[in-house]
Chain A
C-alpha cells in the first residue's frame, strides 16, 4: 500500500496538513490534519509498504508505546486514510 500521488504533506505552524494538489481536489476538496505520529506514518507510506508490521515498528521505534497500542493505532490510521481515498492498496 502507498499514499496516492497528488496529496502533499506540509508542516505549517506546528501542524501537519495534507493538501490535495491539482486533480486530487476533485476527489477531496479540503485539508486533513495529521498528528506528528500520523505524519511519520504518512511519510513512510509515500513509498510502498507491504506489511503493517513495518509501520508498527516505526511507531514503537520512535515513541514509547507498547506494540499492541501501536498496532491498533496503525489499523485506525490506515482505515481512516483508506476511507478518505488517500491510499492505493
Chain B
C-alpha cells in the first residue's frame, strides 16, 4: 500500500505533466543579496529600489495557499539571498506548515547559530548552499567579499550540525575555474557532493555583463573533461556537472521520455513547473522574463493556465532541431532567447560549445 520514492516521483512527474498540474513551484522571494556576483541572473544593483518592489510576506503566503490547492507539492525558496529578507522567518514558518516538500537555496553567509537552530527545528527537505570558490581571494574576485568564504563554510557547518540535508553547488566562471578541484575536495570533507552549474546564461533582463566573466565554449568543454577526469581519478561522482540540481528536477531529467520531440521546452516548464520572480511575475523558469503572467493580480490558477497557453506559442528552433550536434547541446527556448533575442535563432555560443564538446569527447 506504499510506494518507493523513485516510483512515486516518476508517477507524480508523469501524471502532473499529462494533466498540466503545477507540481513544482519556485519562489524567488527577493532580488536582493549581500554578495554581488557578476554572473547572477537576478543581480539587483539598486537594493533599496528592489526592496520597495518586493512582494510582501502576506502575498507570498497567499500565493502558496493558492498553489497548494492547485497541486503544488515541491517548493523551492530562493533569491537573491533569502536570509536578507527580515520577514523570511514569517514566510517560511507559514509555508513549512502547509504540506510542501521544501528546498532552500542560499549562499550560506548569513546563517547564524540561531538561524541554523531554528531551521533544525522546522526543517526543510534540503538546503542547497552555493560555494563560489575555495579561498578568500576567489570569493573577493567572484562575489566582492573575501569574508564570504569563511561565512559560507561556517554556514554549511552550522546546518550540518543540525542534521539538515545540505547540498553544495557552485557556478563556474573565469574567476573560480581554477578552484574547481579544491572546491570538490572542500565539499568532500563535509561528506557532500559538489554540483556544478557550468552554463551561465545572459541575464533575463537583457543586461550582458556576464559575457565577460563566463567561460568560453572551449573553456567549458575543457572544464567538463576536468570534472570527468577528477571523478575517474577519485573513483567517485562527488563532483557532477549539472544545470540545476534540485531533487525533483533530477527526476524530471530522468523523465525526458515524457517530452514531445516537437515541443521546444524539453523540460517541465509550464507543464508541471513554474517560477515566480521577486517582483511577482510567473514565468516558465529562472532564466526567462517572458512569457509571463501575473498571479498576484489575476490569481494563481488563471495565471498558470495563461502561462501554459503562452508557452505553447513558443516556436521550435528549426536549425537546432535539425542540427547534427544536438546530442552535444542542451539548448532550450530560455537559452536561445537570452543568447540571441529570438527563440528561432541558433546561438553562436551554444553551437560553439556543442562543437567543442564533440571535439573533447573524440
Contacts and interface: CB of A to CB of B under 8 A. Distances in A.
Interface of A: 8, 10, 12-15, 17, 19, 21-23, 25-26, 29-35, 37-38, 41, 73, 76-77, 80-81
Interface stretch (B2-10, B44-52, B166-174, B279-287): B2-10
B330 to A, nearest CB: 27
A29 B123 contact: yes
A73 B1 contact: yes
B122 A15 contact: no
Contacts of A10: 73, 99
B226 interface: no
Contacts of A38: 1-2
Nearest to B73: A12
A89 to B, nearest CB: 18
B122 A13 contact: no
B323 interface: no
A2 B120 CA distance: 26
Contact of A76 (B1, B3, B12): B1
Nearest to B124: A25
Contacts of A33: 2-3, 7-8, 11
Interface string B1-41: 11101011001100110010101000000000000000000
Given A13-B16, A32-B2, A73-B1, A22 B97 contact: yes
A57 B64 CA distance: 38
Contacts of B73: 10, 12, 17, 19, 31
B71 interface: yes
A21 B12 contact: no
A47 B16 CA distance: 30
A12 B97 contact: no
B58 to A, nearest CB: 20
B71 A12 contact: yes
A74 to B, nearest CB: 10
Contacts of B100: 19
A31 B1 contact: no
B255 interface: no
B78 to A, nearest CB: 19
